[in-house]
Structure 1
Amino acid sequence: MKNSLKMGLISALIGLLFSCKEQVSPLSEAYYKKSGAIYFIPGGNGFERGSRKTVADVASFSVIKEVYARDKDRVYFMGCPQELVDVKTFQLKNRIPVDQQHVFKFEGFASATSDCNQNQLTIIDGADPATYTTLYDQLPALAKDKAHYFYKYQPLHVDYATFSVINSNFVKDKNQLYVVTDKGILSLHYKTARVEALNAAYILLDGKKLLYYEPHQHIGLLEINIPSSNKIKFLNEKTVIIDQLIVISGKKFGYPAVDPGSFELLEGSNGNATWSRDKNHVYYKQQIFSEADPKTFEVLKFAVAKDAKHIFIGNKIFNGPDVKSFKKVDKSRVNHDFEDDLGNRYWYQTNKGEVILVPVTKK
C-alpha cells in the first residue's frame, strides 16, 4: 500500500515536468516512460536534478535495481548505455556490478545532466567476478577475491593468506606492517610477531613500541618507545596512560614530571589538552601552571577557569571580579556569559584566537 502511494505521488510530480496531455508512466523511482521513450530522473525529482532521455529500446527495457537497467542490447547506469559491460551476463551481486568476465566500479560524480561518457562503469583490474566481495565492515574501501585484496579498487601487494586488519589505520601480513592513508595502504619497515590494537588510532608492537596514526592531520606516523605496558588506560580516543607514561595524540605529555596516577583531563577536545591536572599541579596546554591550586581549580568555559584565589584566562590571572562568586551563567536566560555577586558581568569573546572577557557596560 505504501509503495503504491509513493509511486503515485512520484508519478504526479513527474507529470508536472511534461505536458499535461502526455502520459508519464513510472517504471521505478528513477526510470519513466513517456511518449515512446525511456527517461532517467534521479530520485523522481526532475525539477531539482534534471532528467535524461535514454536511447533504450522501450519494448525490451527493464529496471535491474535503482539506477541500473537494461534492454536487449545494452546495460544502463544513470540512464547511460555502458560501453564495457556484457549485457547478457551483467548482474548486481550484493550491490556490486559484475558480468561474466569483470567487476566494475564507478569513481566519478554521477549526474543526470552530465555527458554519458562521464557516467561510465570501468573495470577493476584483476578482480574475479565470481569471488569478489567487499569488506567494508572491516575497513572502508577494502575488498577481496579468491586471490587478491583490493583497497580503493587497487590490488594490494600483500601475503594473501596472512593478511588481516588491525584497526582502521593499520593492517598487516606475515612479512610486515602497513598504514592506511588517503593515498593507499603503504608498507612500513616494522616487522613484528605481536601487534595489539589499543583503539582506532594506537597500536602496540611487542609491548614495547607505540605507534599512532591519524588520517587527514598531516603529521605522519608517530612512534614512542614504551618502557613497559602492564597497565593501559584511555581517557579519551587520543589520550592514553601506559604505566608511567601519558600520551596525547601520539606524543608524550609536555611536562615530563606529571603524575600519571592522579592525572585527569579537565578541558580539551580533538587531542588538545587545554586544562589538566594531577595531585601536584595544574597544567595549561601541557605545561605546568604554578599559579593555580590543583585542589580548588575548576574550569568554567574553555580557557576561562578559577581556583580559590584567582580567575584565569589561559595562563594569565584575570583581575576585577569577585573570585568566590564569579561564575558562568546560562546565556539563554541573560545576555552575558559570566557574572559575580558584585554586579560585574562579562561577555566571552575571542580575538585572533585569544580569549577575552569583555565587561558589560552598566546602564
Structure 2
Amino acid sequence: MEFYNSNAAASIRESIFYLTEEGSSDEKEQIIKRATVSGQVTLCTRSFGRGTDFVCYDQTVATNGGTHVIQTFLSEQFSEETQIKGRTARQGDQGSYSMILLDHDLEKFHIQRKNIEDIREGRGFAFQMFDALTNSLKITKTYHTIYELLHDKRIDLFKTQYVANMEYVKQAKERHKTARDFLSSLHSGDIDSIRKFLVKENKGVENISKSRTVCLMDATGSMIHLLHKCKTTVDIMFERVSKILEEHQISSDSFQIQFVVYRNYNSSHEKILQSSSWETKPQNLRTFVSTIEVEGGWANEAIEIGLWHANQENEKENITQVILIGDAPPNTRDEYTIKWRQNDDKIFEVSSDISICDHFGNKSVEKH
C-alpha cells in the first residue's frame, strides 16, 4: 500500500491492483484473473506465491514472452522461490522472472552491501562459512555471481534454524515426558512425586530477590542467527546462573531474568521495544523468545530505548545487571532526533544512551 499510494506509482496507478489476504474471495478471484492481462501490474503479498494459478489468456502477453514476475524478497526456503517462479509459466506457458532486493533486507542473511558491489564489479571475494550442522569451519569459497552468494547464505540460515529447531524439539520432548510422569503419579496416587513436581513448578523467587538481570537484545534483521540460538539456549543460561549463585551460597531460586528486545524507529511502536515479564523459570522465557521475529534495522540501532526500559525497571525495583547483546552501536544524539521525528507513532522520547548509562553507574548497576 505504501508503494501504491506513493508518487513513484502515480503514473501507472490506474493499472495497478493489489492482492492481499484480507480481500474477499470474489475480489481475489477477479484480481487474479486480471493479473495476466497486457499492461496490468498486480502487487501481491508473499502468500500468493504458492498455490495460486495466474493463468494467461491474453495472446498479446503470450506473444511477448508471457507474464513477468518480480520477487522483492529473498526466500528463506528455496522451495518457496521455486513456487514463485512457477507463477510465470502455468501449464507450460512461457514466462520470465527477476528478483529486486533491498540490500538492507539482506542483513538477516549476513550479506553486506559491499559483498554485492564486489561481485557486481567482478572482483569476487572469499567467505569463511561456518557449518552449523557439523559445528565446524568450512573451506573458503570465492563467489562470482550474486545469486550464488544469496543461495549459499540462505542455506546457511536454514541450517542454523534447523539446529535450533531440533534442540527446541528435544526440550519439548523432555517437558512432555515430565508431564506424562506427573500424570502417572496422579493416577497412581504417588503423593510424594506429586508434591515434588508441584513445588518445583510453582516455586517462585525467594522473598528477597538477590539477583535481577535484564537481558537486552537487538532483534533487527542481522541478528536472526543469534536469535534462533537464543531460543534454544535459555535453559543453559539458567543452569549456569544457578551454578554461579550456588557457588556463592545463594539460593538458585533467588534470581529473576527479564528478556527485552529492541529494534529501531522505523518499526511500529509495539515492535520498537518488546519485553517479557520477570521470570524464574526457563520455559516461560523460552515461550516469550519464540514469539519474537527479526525485522527492520536502520544502521545504528535503538539501544537507548532498551536502556531506557531497563532504567524504568530499576526505578521500580533495583536490578543487578544489564546484559546487552547486539551487533551495531546505539543511535547518536543527532540520529535519535532525526529518526524519532520520522517515526509516525513517536511513542518513545528518551534521553541519550550515554546519560542513561551514567544514571545506571550512579546506582551501581553492572553493564555487560
If the length of structure 1 is used for normalisation, what is the TM-score? 0.24
The structure having more radius of gyration, on CA atoms, is 1
Instruction: Answer 1 or 2: which has greater strand percent.
Output: 1
Q: Which has the higher contact order (CA 8 A, sep 6+)?
A: 2
Question: TM (normalized to structure 2)?
Answer: 0.23
